[in-house]
Structure 1
Amino acid sequence: MLSHVFNTCFIKIRFYSHDNIGSGGISLPAEELHTTSTWLTFDVQKGWTGAGLTDAMTGAAYAIQSFIPLFVRCDRTDIHVVLQVKAVHTGKPTIFIYDSYPGGIGLSEKLFERWETLLKQAAEHVSGCRCESGCPVCIGAQEAGMGMKQDVGSLLGILAGGERNVL
């Protein structure tokens, strides 16, 4: 069972001038879905900061989700990739892939044995993209900070060939 709590807010913006005229929080209930998943847990390499690791994992999750439909013949919305820098289950950085349907339909199960190939494809795609610092095609960022694309590529490369635990 995966559970997500989203902290969301709204902003009121004046027409034409786009002035901010107010904002406030929105309290949404936790979203629960009983489904199947696979996850990849890894140890943090020296030199990664909390924010840098979060950014790299976010870009990696985007790249991974882009390739999943090629591996299991599904729509991009049939499966989700979620990251946790310090997962509740493992206490380590973890990337979860789960089916978007109650009870699961077997998509994440098919990916269980294909993690290495999936990670290699995502790493090659990110490193082969012609952009300089990341874009919506490779890591999903509109305006990525300098070095973010390299961080994502580095993380994917480490995960594709490095020390990790797959469950």
Structure 2
Amino acid sequence: MLSTAGGGRSATDVGQPYRAAAGSLAPNPDLFFLPEYDAVLRALVIETVREAGPLPLPALCRQLAVQHGWQRTGRRIVDRIRRSLQGVDVIEEDGVPFVWSARTSANRIPFRHSLNRDLREISRAEIAALYDAHAEQLDVSEDPIKDLARLAGVGRLSADARAYLDGCLRWRRTVT
């Protein structure tokens, strides 16, 4: 018998996502690599992306590893998660796979402030929308990339961050 935070389950319940008493999914590290955990992992991917997406695939893998109580995200974990992406969309952004909720990818989405994330974990669609919201001041700025970084909450603009924002702005000009 498999167990969850909300009670036991029989082998006939294996295909259904495990739910804790409050209704959220209950990750089970003991079952993570087993085929009968496929539906659970797919549901965890969908729920995590719905709450935190879009986000880069490596960030999704880290979040799912932490949900399962692991501190590291190894190749086997990443491979397992990659095989569980059927319910989401993966969109390449300059060679980085960003994971979106199914059928929600767009050229502009509202910028989400106060999230603890690295600048490179922000989709170019969010960066474009942030620029659009402040276009009047950024269009006349002496250093629009530096000012955009400040609007995004970046305290220190590294060369890498500047290059990323520059790429996002070049992409922004090509899409509507």
Same fold (TM over 0.5): no
Which structure has the greater CA radius of gyration? Answer: 2
Q: Which has the higher helix share?
A: 2
- Choose between structure 1 and 2 for higher RCO, CA contacts under 8 A separated by at least 6 residues: 1
Smaller-chain TM-score bracket: under 0.3
Q: Which has the higher strand share?
A: 1
